[in-house]
Amino acid sequence: MDRIDRRIVEALQEDGRLSNTELASRIALSESACLRRVRQLEASGLIRGYVALLDQSSAGYPDNVFVQITLTSQQRSDLDEFEAAARELPEVMECYLMSGDHDYLLRVIVADARDYERLHSQHLTRLPKVDRVRSSFALRTVVKKTAIAPKPEA
């Protein structure tokens, strides 16, 4: 990844709706060279896709809750079963397998405390092999980024 690729990635992260013509003009490349580079970045997997970023509050989910989940077992089949079920819950925006005191950390979005109570009692505690659920409501978002600056090659 060279300086030009970095500029392409930066521009597309800022505005993924740029046409190839607009992008080429911004980067000062020919349209064909720009398109070739974008396609290479996509083929390499660095650019995974293009999405519309929604405003969470406007979508009806102003609250973030971070949920620590401990399972009764850490056997591979139990982890796989939990992960498959967690993927099915639309409120689960992120799910991480963790080291430390709990097995998973989830970021879930909810309308309010009552909505979280519903999610907790009807879904989270019923996920496969769940032993313990600990929750923390985020008071406000301090930093939330979508852009990643690729590490320079050494």
Using one digit for the tens of pLDDT, what is the confidence trace for 60-94? 999 999 999 999 999 999 999 999 999 999 999 99
Low-confidence ranges of the chain (pLDDT < 50): none
Say what the pLDDT of residue 67 is: 98
Q: Which domains does the chain have, with CATH numbers?
A: 3-43 (1.10.10.10), 63-137 (3.30.70.920)
Q: Cα–chain-centroid distance for residue 70?
A: 21
Say what the pLDDT of residue 154 is: 54
Instruction: Give the Cα separation of 116 and 106 in Å (integer).
Output: 13
What is the per-residue burial (b if ≥16 Cβ within 10 Å, else e) of 94-115? ebeeeeeebbbbbebbbbeeeb
